[in-house]
Structure 1
Amino acid sequence: MLEGLPPNDATHVMRVAAPRREAQRIADLISETFDPAEVAVANFERTDAEWVVEVYAGAAFDAERLQEMVEIAAGPELAAGVTFGDVEQKDWVAASLEGLAPVKVGPFVVHGAHDRGRVPGHCIGIEIEAALAFGTGHHGTTQGCLCAIVDAARRGRPARVLDVGTGTGVLAIAAARQFHTRVVGSDIDAVAVRTARANARANQAPGILMVHAAGAGARTLGEKGPYDLILANILLPPLKRLARPLRRLLAPGGRIVLSGLLSAQVPAALAAYRSQGLRLVSQRHMEGWATLTLAADAGRPR
């Protein structure tokens, strides 16, 4: 999950402020138009009445095209407020970790190296160092997925786990430490994969296989499946595209956890996965973000 941070090689940014509904339309249109490996979209609240859409890329934007897209989604007045700029080159995760306290979710404590001594002995400490990848545990989507892993542990131990869009590897590491089972993590970003591998080694979870892959159709992912638990903490547009391939990777009786969704995006995500025969088991909302658990054999949603 992007967690509002720009991609590793971002050099250009577009910004526009808008009311929440219009901001969501702008973000959705741009996300669905561009390749997520090349363009990242963040949509966040600035005040109660105003949201900001930021679009990051490693190459210069076609300013006229983007302004036209904003106009289509939200009207000419908001399109006139679009601005373009350069991205300051810095380690975004290092900056985001400054001053952040450890995050505790169930038995997990996600922390940086500077807080290693603050992890209680009865907890599962997951140390995520500052690096050019995404997933520090402080975002509502990551916390929601960690809660879903805790929920899955109450049902038993999955034989195989897949973490799509692994980022720093925090969810794959949590699953490996919790279940002591086979875990595969994948990401479209080669830097994220290298970071996740280093984090897995540092957290004494060397059995995790980290794969550099676009989407869920990579041969390696299919060969290592099917999976009893699939985690996908990304964004709505790629989650919708992944509905069919993830369903194919799911073992009978398995469950899929989706996050990276604003609460308002839940119906759109559910529609994509219900069309693949999956049903909602539970949903959790944290800080305006939703985490969904789905299964092919689910009963009535609660």
Structure 2
Amino acid sequence: MPTYTALTTLPGKAKAEALGEAMEALTPEPYGVGVFEIEDDSGLWEVGGYFTEAPDEAGLALLATLHEARPFAVSELPDVDWVAKVKRELAPIRAGRFYLYGSHDADSVPADVEPLLIEAAMAFGTGHHGTTQGCLRALDRLATQGVVAEKVADIGCGTAVLAMAAARIWPGVPVASDIDPVAVEVAEANLAANGMAGRVTCLEATGFDHEAIHAGAPYDLIFANILKGPLIDLAPDVTSHLAPGGHVILSGLLNEQAEAVTAAYVAQGLAQVEAEQIGDWSTLVLKKPI
């Protein structure tokens, strides 16, 4: 079955969300519409629709004009079994003591690692992205230095791979939250697949806005692997939920965005411990003074 995409950009969240909503009334209708901020400090948002039939290009042109967006770029994607393709191309990843793999690579797991099974179909963070690797490597270094975090929160958890990694090496029950209910379901499925049901508490929440997250504070370690804008916005909440002497591991950042995010957390009184770059992406570790 062919898949068609129709993509455009325009400035401003409100305009982008309005265009995304209007696209849902098209005929043929899209089976999915996405609205995303482009994290390059341009202020632009991307709006995309996904179709199983060729979209109405005249209708798209009218919507672009009405919503002051760039003309839609319409493409037909090749008929590919994407999960099978991902399984072939995503090799296992080693990040410090952690080894991330799919079930098709189960026979490759070394004996001297903390294994984490993340299936290719779980699209919210397989561990191959430099941001996830950076967070896992930072976690490994903290543990090697003797840090033991009894209370851990993973904000914007996706697959919950970071919370699972913490639960593998420390005895507590981390909290993992995400704004997307599908991500929460994926996180719970990953826990079950790893024989870790009950070892992480998975919640649907925006940032720290959940009574269970408040109740678990203060945290010895907080992960936030999201985007520059939300990370800066969350700086006061992260700091207020962090225990004295606690650490925060931040990622989801392009290298050129790291300085601005670091400044936001230093302004809250945290001290930078380290920064690592993996390709185009940065991971930051900061600590709250005792």
Q: TM-score, length-normalised on structure 2? A: 0.77
- Which residue does the alignment assign to 1:222? 214
Quote the offset at 1:67 in angstroms.
5.5
Partner residue in 1 for 2:272: 280
Q: In 2, Cα distance between the equivalents of 1:87 and 1:224?
A: 48
- AA aligned to 2:230 is P
Counterpart check, 1:195 vs 2:189: no
Distance in 1, Cα, partners of 2:83 & 2:36: 16
Match of 2:166? 175
CA contact (8 A) 2:39 2:227 kept: no
Deviation at 1:168, TM superposition (A): 1.0
Distance in 2, matches of 1:33 and 1:268, equals 26
- The answer to whether structure 1 residue 13 and structure 2 residue 4 are counterparts is no
Q: Which amino acid aligns with 2:262?
A: L
2:136 maps to 1:146: yes
Identical aligned residues as a percent: 40
Deviation per CA, 1:107-161: give whole Å up to 9, x if none. Answer: 1110100001100112111100133541111111010000111022123211111
Residues 1-302 of structure 1 aligned to structure 2 (within 5 Å): 13-14=7-8, 39-41=35-37, 55-56=46-47, 63-64=64-65, 83-85=72-74, 96-153=86-143, 154-206=145-197, 207-297=199-289
SS in 2 for 1:255: strand
Deviation at 1:239, TM superposition (A): 0.7
Shift in Å, 1:14 = 2.5
| Amino acid in the other structure paired with 1:214 | T
> 5+ unaligned residues in a row in structure 2: which ranges?
18-33, 51-59
The two structures have a TM-score, normalised by structure 1, of 0.74
Output the CA distance in 1 between the equivalents of 2:252 and 2:121. 20
Work out which structure has the larger RCO, using CA pairs closer than 8 Å and 6 or more positions apart in sequence. 1
**Counterpart amino acid of residue 35 in structure 2:** V
Contact 2:16-2:45 within 8 A present in 1 as well: no
Q: 8 Å contact 2:207–2:234 — kept in the other structure?
A: yes
Q: Which amino acid aligns with 1:63?
A: A
- Where structure 1 has 5 or more consecutive residues not aligned to the other structure, the ranges are 1-10, 16-25, 45-52, 69-78
Question: Could you list the per-position Cα deviations for residues 234-271 of structure 1 after superposition, in whole angstroms to 9, with x for gaps in the alignment?
Answer: 01011111111111110111011110000000121112
Q: How many pairs align?
A: 256
Give the Cα–Cα distance (whole angstroms) in 2 for the partners of residues 225 and 91 of structure 1.
Answer: 43
